[in-house]
């Protein structure tokens, strides 16, 4: 198998531990170059992580002959443009989540990669983490019977940015929404993976705190193509913390946390079991490995542009009434 040389566009926090080292530690993979518009920060990242080269323009890193595939780790508003540039350069793309700020951009990214004949992957890494594969195994084993309903609850206290620091995750023009988009996408994408596509979704969102323009509270109802029905409540100014997703079946239930380090809980047949399964040091490495293997013709990566676009569409449906009703423009 050939070793895939990666170029990374964006050197933010997500790349320090979650993803960047994974490109160096996955088998048949190496991180050969990084790019950030601030060249000094790009050089610093390359020095600290042992990356051979750094650049301050996308054109330069895409022209590097050793860069065979591109990881886009910028905020979501830039995902489409960099993906189109990489596709035009004939480079496979692995892009951060959420895939883009709006469904139309997702479709443009898919079309560009398809026309260029390069694959498109998205960093919904829970699809390959052992803890979440355990939930998938439980569902496929029939231990809880036929899935009928799912409930999602994610409550987080408000966490203001440090003085003088701007939090792009709550800037709708940059992130496509607020923390619901940044965090809720993980759960919705994983449910797409284990229960199939969501056929339709509706939601109500609010911002009573008025600390920024994005939504603070989101309530949603959704239905999967299989007929499974779901509800969700996300609150990012809660006095308490809660992270729980529960899938109910005809014979039992399985519950898990999307973000917290909590065990998977199975209740079926009058018995309760817990499975404490730790994450690897670099949580994106298992998914990166499937991308590298896919590029080498060995298997398929489970997180593609097509699957990730469905999650963006669902979030757009849930937030439609909120962004249609407030004066702030969500997108530039």
The span from the CA of 135 to the CA of 138, in Å, is 5
Query: What pairs with residue 152 in β-bridges?
Result: 232, 245
pLDDT per position in the chain (332 positions), as tens? Answer: 899 999 999 999 999 999 999 999 999 999 999 999 999 999 999 999 999 999 999 999 999 999 999 999 999 999 999 999 999 999 999 999 999 999 999 999 999 999 999 999 999 999 999 999 999 999 999 999 999 999 999 999 998 777 777 799 999 999 999 999 999 999 999 999 999 999 999 999 999 988 888 999 999 999 999 999 999 999 999 999 999 999 999 999 999 999 999 999 999 999 999 999 999 999 999 999 999 999 999 999 999 999 999 999 999 999 999 998 765 667 65
Instruction: Specify the pLDDT at position 282.
Output: 98
- Cβ-based neighbours of 24, under 8 Å, separated by 6 or more: 30, 31, 49, 50
Sheet holding 217-224, edge to edge: 198-206, 217-224, 229-235, 147-155, 242-249, 252-256, 264-268, 271-275
Contact 225, 197 (CB under 8 A): yes
- Cβ-based neighbours of 166, under 8 Å, separated by 6 or more: none
Contact 184, 198 (CB under 8 A): no
Structure-block tokens of residue 328: 């702030």
Residue whose structure tokens are 């199975």: 266
- Cβ-based neighbours of 164, under 8 Å, separated by 6 or more: none
Instruction: Specify the pLDDT at position 332.
Output: 57
Where would I find the H helices in 18-129? 20-25, 39-49, 58-63, 79-88, 103-116
The span from the CA of 259 to the CA of 36, in Å, is 28
The span from the CA of 154 to the CA of 178, in Å, is 14
Domain ranges of the chain: 4-125+284-300, 126-279+312-325
- Cβ-based neighbours of 105, under 8 Å, separated by 6 or more: 79, 80, 99
190: closest CA among 232, 219, 250? Answer: 232
Range 4-125+284-300 classified under CATH 3.40.50.720: yes
Indicate the CATH number for domain 126-279+312-325.
Answer: 3.30.360.10
Instruction: Specify the pLDDT at position 213.
Output: 86
Structure-block tokens of residue 15: 């790349």
262: closest CA among 240, 277, 281? Answer: 277
Instruction: Specify the pLDDT at position 159.
Output: 84
Instruction: Specify the pLDDT at position 329.
Output: 62
| Residue 166, φ and ψ in degrees, nearest 5 | -95, 130
301: closest CA among 286, 322, 316, 311? Answer: 286
């Amino acid at each position: 198998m050939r070793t895939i040389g990666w170029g990374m566009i964006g050197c933010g926090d997500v790349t320090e531990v979650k993803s960047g080292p994974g490109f160096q530690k996955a088998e048949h993979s190496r991180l050969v170059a990084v790019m950030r518009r601030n060249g000094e920060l790009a050089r610093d990242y390359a020095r600290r992580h042992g990356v051979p080269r750094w650049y301050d323009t996308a054109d330069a890193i895409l022209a590097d002959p050793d860069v065979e595939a591109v990881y886009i780790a910028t905020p979501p508003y830039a995902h489409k443009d960099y993906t189109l540039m990489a596709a035009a350069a004939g480079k496979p793309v692995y892009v951060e989540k959420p895939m883009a700020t709006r469904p139309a951009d997702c479709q443009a990214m898919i079309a560009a990669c398809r026309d260029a004949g390069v694959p498109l992957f998205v960093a919904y890494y829970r699809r390959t983490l052992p803890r979440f594969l355990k939930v998938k195994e439980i569902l496929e084993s029939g231990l809880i019977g036929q899935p009928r309903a799912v409930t999602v609850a994610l409550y987080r206290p408000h966490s203001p940015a440090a003085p003088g620091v701007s939090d792009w995750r709550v800037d709708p023009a940059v992130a496509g929404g607020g923390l619901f988009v940044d965090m809720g996408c993980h759960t919705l994408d994983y449910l797409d993976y284990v229960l199939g596509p969501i056929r339709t979704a509706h939601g109500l969102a609010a911002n009573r705190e008025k600390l920024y323009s994005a939504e603070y509270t989101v309530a949603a109802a959704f239905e999967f193509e299989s007929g499974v029905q779901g509800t969700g409540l996300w609150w990012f100014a809660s006095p308490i913390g809660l992270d729980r997703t529960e899938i109910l079946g005809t014979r039992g239930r399985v519950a898990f946390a999307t973000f917290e380090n909590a065990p998977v809980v199975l209740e079926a047949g009058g018995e309760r079991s817990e499975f404490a399964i730790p994450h690897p040091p670099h949580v994106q490495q298992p998914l990166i490995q499937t991308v590298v293997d896919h590029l080498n013709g060995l298997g398929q990566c489970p997180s593609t542009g097509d699957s990730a676009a469905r999650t963006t569409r669902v979030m757009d449906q849930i937030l439609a009434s909120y962004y249609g009703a407030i004066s702030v423009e969500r997108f530039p």
